[in-house]
Chain A
Amino acid sequence: MNVSISSTSEKPIYQQLIEQISAQILKGELESGYCLPPIRQAALELRVSVITVKKAWEELERSGLINTVTGKGCFVADFSSDEMLRIRNEMVLKQMESDTSYYKSFGLTLDEVIELLKKIY
């Protein structure tokens, strides 16, 4: 598992953790059954607070990406490609939502946004 944290980023650290780990799971880099390091161990190694890691792990569990087995640890969940697609779309939509409010603040219409997007995509 690769994680790199930027303390100067505007994004909260737990958010950075969630994004990086879920991206690795969804790309298949972390396979189902992969055991995540224990919360306190991860906090120590990443030099972040225990609560930050706890929050990230909880959020990953809520979105269905990992499972907690009491007494054993957190494991990457076993899911079908359909489910994977659904979770991926959910995440992308979340990002789009915040981007959209930015576009809207300039008064852009959907067609205008799509036109602009085509230029860079």
Chain B
Amino acid sequence: MLALDIRNLNKKYPNFQLKDVSFQLEKGYIMGFIGANGAGKTTTIKSILKMIHIDSGEVRILGKDIAEHEIELKQEIGCAFGGLDFYTRNKMKTLTDVIKKFYKNWDDETYYNYLRRFKLDENKKIAELSTGMKVKYSLALALSHGAKLLVLDEPTSGLDPVARDDLLDIFQELVVDGEISILFSTHITSDLEKCADFITFIDNGQIIDSSEKNEFMESYRLLSGSESQLHQVKEQLISYKTNSFGFTGLIHTRDFDPSSDVRATTPSLEEIMIYYAKKEDIYV
């Protein structure tokens, strides 16, 4: 079953546009949603949650269309958006008491477990929380009502390495039964290299690729070589950098002749993102 099924999402803003965004997430898996700042990650996530009106397209969650079953589906979705900037002069405890009333399956025990795990004191005011603590608090809220789908926007940003590692542990524990699915956006790609099953890469409002992590990474090759070698492959490269020692560039594996003598390695997610960003610079 698909936990999330997005088809041909379009949304036009004066200076930015989501173009035919489509991708699917199978139930029980973790998908990382990557892209540079302003690529459309948050816009896509907001469209999924019906927080903005889309121009066209379809979003199905756990088999149901969100346009028709919004209220029912939101019981099943846990979401968190980095910061938290409402009712900042209230205590966490007060805010939780308000929020939990919206959820039929709210579980106090789970909630307090996460507070302990995240070392949060619920008598603190929102305004007194650090960036990382706000992220942890919103995650505790998202995880405490038995959600089947977690949609998290930059949940790891603002967290220190220890907290990030712990959060990834939590993600893996959540999917262990195969019931919960997670979509999270990030630009800290090392997080994904550890735990994500699928990668969806968005660039300039368009999905470049959405596939299994290894397949995704193996569909690109990072080349390095001398200037004369650059001329052999220049036409096929997505983008490249040169320096006095030679060049490095990114290429689709299908465009690369493996018998060529240019040195090729599998790029990291970060390198793929960087070379795509460079591609636009060339045309500007």
For the complex with contacts A48-B195, A51-B214, 5 further pairs of A-B residues with Cβ separation under 8 Å are: A12-B266, A40-B28, A47-B168, A49-B30, A52-B197
Chain B 147-205 residues near chain A, CB threshold 8 A: 168-169, 172-173, 175-178, 193-198
Contact of A44 among B173, B196, B214, B265 (CB under 8 A): B173
Return A59 CB to nearest CB of chain B, in Å: 12
With contact pairs A10-B265, A12-B214 given, residues A50 and B197 touching in the complex (Cβ less than 8 Å)? yes
Interface size on B (CB < 8 Å)? 23
Q: Could you list some 7 contacts between A and B, CB below 8 A? A: A12-B266, A40-B176, A40-B177, A44-B176, A47-B169, A49-B195, A51-B214
Docked-complex contact B214 and A55, CB < 8 angstroms: yes
- Quick check: is B29 within 8 A (CB to CB) of the other chain? yes
- Give CA–CA (A43, B177) in the complex, Å: 12
- Quick check: is B70 within 8 A (CB to CB) of the other chain? no
- Give CA–CA (A73, B109) in the complex, Å: 32
Docked-complex contact A50 and B29, CB < 8 angstroms: yes
Return A37 CB to nearest CB of chain B, in Å: 11
- Quick check: is A81 within 8 A (CB to CB) of the other chain? no
- Quick check: is B128 within 8 A (CB to CB) of the other chain? no
With contact pairs A10-B265, A12-B214, A55-B214 given, residues A50 and B175 touching in the complex (Cβ less than 8 Å)? yes
Q: What residues of A have a CB within 8 angstroms of the CB of B197 in the complex?
A: 49-52
- Quick check: is A41 within 8 A (CB to CB) of the other chain? yes
- Give CA–CA (A50, B213) in the complex, Å: 11
Q: What residues of A have a CB within 8 angstroms of the CB of B194 in the complex?
A: 7, 47-49
Query: Main SS of the interface on chain A?
Result: helix
With contact pairs A49-B30, A50-B28 given, residues A41 and B195 touching in the complex (Cβ less than 8 Å)? no
Return A104 CB to nearest CB of chain B, in Å: 11
Chain B 88-115 residues near chain A, CB threshold 8 A: none
With contact pairs A7-B193, A40-B178, A55-B214 given, residues A47 and B266 touching in the complex (Cβ less than 8 Å)? no
Return B197 CB to nearest CB of chain A, in Å: 4
- Give CA–CA (A10, B168) in the complex, Å: 23
- Quick check: is B121 within 8 A (CB to CB) of the other chain? no
- Give CA–CA (A55, B169) in the complex, Å: 21
Interface size on A (CB < 8 Å)? 16
- Give CA–CA (A13, B213) in the complex, Å: 11
- Quick check: is B209 within 8 A (CB to CB) of the other chain? no
Docked-complex contact B212 and A51, CB < 8 angstroms: yes
- Give CA–CA (A30, B170) in the complex, Å: 31
Return A58 CB to nearest CB of chain B, in Å: 13
- Give CA–CA (A84, B266) in the complex, Å: 33
Chain A 89-111 residues near chain B, CB threshold 8 A: none
Q: What residues of B have a CB within 8 angstroms of the CB of A57 in the complex?
A: none
Q: What residues of B have a CB within 8 angstroms of the CB of A10 in the complex?
A: 265-266
- Quick check: is A75 within 8 A (CB to CB) of the other chain? no
Chain B 67-105 near chain A by CB (<8 Å), digits 1 or 0: 000000000000000000000000000000000000000
Chain A 26-61 near chain B by CB (<8 Å), digits 1 or 0: 000000000000001101100111111001000000
